[in-house]
Structure 1
Amino acid sequence: MKLNFTKSIFILSIVIGLGSSSNLFAQDFTDILKAPEAEAEAYLNEYIKPAMFSFANGMAGGWYNTAKAHKPLGFDLTFTLNVANIPNDERMFNFGNVRYGNNQSFNNLRLLSGNTNTDLPTLVGGDTDETLVLAGDYQAPDGNTYTYTAEQFPAPEGFDPESLPIAGAPVPMIQLGVGIIKNTDVKIRYGKYEAAVDPSSTFGAELKYGLDLFGIGVMHDFKQWIPGIKHLPLDMAIFVGYSRFKTKIDFDVDEGVGGGFVASGTSEMTASNTTIQALVSKKLSILTLYGGIGYNAVSSGFKVKGELTNYNLRDSGGNPYTVTDPVDLTYDGGSTFRGTVGLRIKLAIITLHTDYTFQKYNTLTVGLGLSVR
């Protein structure tokens, strides 16, 4: 069977609940994992890194739509969709510039054109006509030399950024905020989901996946403690929030000995962020204008754990090459400036809001909620 491995795992991780069709994932990415593990990991690092940062930054959106805290036991229940835009210069990567290990470049994974100075798409880099080739001898970590039966396959493509209003990973979020004491809100994000994909679907393999999301935030009105500003006709608050996300997907792929690839195991995607911002808002009838300034720290990771056997890579005795846990990628985005401007409309207890956050991965947020003071 064929499995759209990388793209299906990553997109399943980030759009569960959006009802996306598996027909979006027709391109087969299994072949990249047939490369030597260091080369496969280096390629996938360049391919998914921008989307991973987009997702981690998108998780920081949607925490607030006003700086005014609820009265005790007042609450809001809000659904938001956040998309962090991937900068233009990160939507493609240069094949010949990729380095891994001791400053090594690709060896067994090659371009059919022979032109290494070629830009290839990331997950949101659009289409490509380039073809990749696996060929030559591979000196494996077990000390044996394995030889590829030369094979060709299309280079992985990405979503067309021109077809997206913002080129990034969509992050849906459901959140509950509750007022406690001293003009303070506690905000909770939580989600847990498990399901299976029918192997007869276009994923072409048996998949079982689960999602685990948790986040907690606190918004506190600091204006009340400062005599010089507490009577200003504005709401002001400080916000601190933390979110973490983990997806675990079990997979089982069998192209058969003649097909060249057998794999079973688990993939994991993780992301976390910490957000600190000073907030201000002004209510004008049904309209509230709000904004914030502060910083955001993000990190994320992607792993493929399990055993993969490649029957097109054999030693002198004809034995196929088997690799365990081939991919382990970690991304540390550090701390970056974050500035937000937005507006909210409230009709009775129904709220509609949108905001835009300026940071390295600029983020658009739209939301719908219920708010009871």
Structure 2
Amino acid sequence: MKRIVLFFKTSALTLSLLGAFSTVSAQDDIGELVRAGKEDATKLTQAYLNPFFKGFGFGMNSGWFNSAKTKNLGKFDLRIQATGAFVPPADQRFNISSLGLSNARVKAGQSNFTPTIFGDDNSATTIEVLDDNGDVAAEFQMPQGTGFNIAPSPQVQLTVGLIKNTDVSVRFVPSVKIGDGGQINSWGVGIKKEITSFLPGKSEKVIPVDISLAFGYNQVNIDYKIAVADQVNADNEGLIPGPNAGKDLNQRIEAKLSGYTVDAILSKKLAIFTPFVSVGYNTAKTEIGALGDYIIKTGSGINDKETITDPIKINQKDISGMRAGVGFSLHLAIFRLYGAYNIGEYNAVTAGLGIGIGK
């Protein structure tokens, strides 16, 4: 059975990395529970995680600015903020029958609809996996949702004024440990150029607002070493130690989530309060894979095993389209409060606080 690959362990660990909780434990009997082709494994994982990719990407592109006015030379602000992208009801579940699976099907009597990562946390569909003869070889339950419908995206950002009418923003989070075998880091860079002075009628009496163009790029990298290295530890229901017990198969998850946004901003300073509106275009993409060797039982015999390498790979564009926003900044001495609401493929709220020196 050349098409067989362990789906659930790889996808469940991917989901755990992203904050989801699987209803099936990733132990050495998973190979007996789940057997699906690479294509089916990727399709199911992709459909389950898509709202996370879209929501995180949209949020990652948010919060670059809270005013069209650029900072003067050497002036700066440092902010900590978080964006929550609202996952619409249509993306809180997906139709398994629409995926075009080759080696798996919904079990009779089960719903074709199952939760995504941001869907219901008390229901999930059972899938039957078929062998080459079309007979049921195994079955498994899809993971439940988290019960939350907001995709979070935190940011730490430093903005510094450079040459006249130009400031630069930098986002950076050094590697942070994930559990016992993983790490995550992120970085980004943005630039904002005030163009009010280049417009006809640049006098404040004619154009009493600030107008700017801005660009921002952000990237998040994740590496996670899977602790359960082998999937066939024993034979004959665990009575005989298997040859792969304790073997490191270099199983890991690698991911890169990136995106950029280009925006036009209009704002008006009113003493300590500055409201703004914006319109722009943004895009985000995801590259993620469950890599390494995965040993799968293909039958009842001791030697009925198959090694599958790099079973899941996803490379997709998550969002691409227009976005618009409205928000404000509030200056209280050296302290700053920020807020914004953005609409696009998803809608999102950003809130943050910071400190700053100068205008």
Question: What is the TM-score when the length of structure 1 is the normalising length?
Answer: 0.80
2:345, 2:66 → 1: CA distance? Answer: 21
- After alignment, is 58-67 or 280-289 more displaced? 280-289
- After alignment, is 253-262 or 86-95 more displaced? 253-262
Residue 273 of structure 2 aligns with which residue? 287
Residue 216 of structure 2 aligns with which residue? 241
Asked if structure 1 preserves the Cα contact closer than 8 Å seen for 2:170 and 2:190, the reply is yes
Alignment equivalent of 2:162, drawn from 180, 184, 191 = 180
Q: Which amino acid aligns with 1:25?
A: F
Question: Is 1:346 aligned with 2:342?
Answer: no
2:347, 2:77 → 1: CA distance? Answer: 26
Q: Flag structure 2 segments of 5+ consecutive residues without an equivalent.
A: 1-8
The verdict on how the C-alpha distance between 1:372 and 1:281 changes in structure 2, with shifts beyond 3 A counting, is same
1:305, 1:345 → 2: CA distance? Answer: 47
> What is the deviation of 1:111?
3.0
1:33, 1:273 → 2: CA distance? Answer: 34
Residue 152 of structure 2 aligns with which residue? 170
Q: Which amino acid aligns with 1:216?
A: V
Question: Which aligned pairs between 1:92-131 and structure 2 lie closer than 5 A?
Answer: 92-99=93-100, 105-107=101-103, 109-115=104-110, 118-131=112-125
Q: Which amino acid aligns with 1:234?
A: V
Asked if structure 2 preserves the Cα contact closer than 8 Å seen for 1:215 and 1:244, the reply is yes
Asked if structure 1 preserves the Cα contact closer than 8 Å seen for 2:225 and 2:252, the reply is yes
Asked if structure 1 preserves the Cα contact closer than 8 Å seen for 2:83 and 2:154, the reply is yes
The verdict on how the C-alpha distance between 1:334 and 1:157 changes in structure 2, with shifts beyond 3 A counting, is closer
Alignment equivalent of 1:157, drawn from 144, 161, 180 = 144
State the secondary structure of the residue aligned to 2:120: coil
State the secondary structure of the residue aligned to 1:25: coil
State the secondary structure of the residue aligned to 1:284: coil
Identity of paired residues, percent?
29
The verdict on how the C-alpha distance between 1:138 and 1:367 changes in structure 2, with shifts beyond 3 A counting, is farther
The verdict on how the C-alpha distance between 1:237 and 1:133 changes in structure 2, with shifts beyond 3 A counting, is closer
Asked if structure 2 preserves the Cα contact closer than 8 Å seen for 1:36 and 1:138, the reply is no
2:131, 2:77 → 1: CA distance? Answer: 61
The verdict on how the C-alpha distance between 1:316 and 1:33 changes in structure 2, with shifts beyond 3 A counting, is closer
Q: Which amino acid aligns with 1:366?
A: A
Cα shift readout 1:230-288 (whole Å, capped 9, x = no counterpart): 42332211101111221111113146334799864121221111111111111222221
> What is the deviation of 1:59?
0.5
The verdict on how the C-alpha distance between 1:189 and 1:291 changes in structure 2, with shifts beyond 3 A counting, is same
Residue 193 of structure 1 aligns with which residue? 175
Cα shift readout 1:14-62 (whole Å, capped 9, x = no counterpart): xxxxxxxxxx736337458643322211110111112111111110011
Residue 275 of structure 1 aligns with which residue? 261
> What is the deviation of 1:219?
0.6
Question: Which aligned pairs between 1:354-365 and structure 2 lie closer than 5 A?
Answer: 354-365=339-350
Asked if structure 2 preserves the Cα contact closer than 8 Å seen for 1:289 and 1:342, the reply is yes
State the secondary structure of the residue aligned to 1:216: strand
Q: Flag structure 1 segments of 5+ consecutive residues without an equivalent.
A: 12-23, 100-104, 140-144, 162-166, 198-206
The verdict on how the C-alpha distance between 1:196 and 1:180 changes in structure 2, with shifts beyond 3 A counting, is closer
Residue 55 of structure 2 aligns with which residue? 54
Asked if structure 1 preserves the Cα contact closer than 8 Å seen for 2:107 and 2:127, the reply is yes
Question: Which aligned pairs between 1:4-153 and structure 2 lie closer than 5 A?
Answer: 4-11=12-19, 25=21, 27-28=23-24, 30=26, 31=30, 34-99=35-100, 105-107=101-103, 109-115=104-110, 118-138=112-132, 150-153=137-140
1:196, 1:341 → 2: CA distance? Answer: 35
RMSD value over aligned CA atoms? 2.8
1:129, 1:333 → 2: CA distance? Answer: 26
Name the count of aligned residue pairs: 331
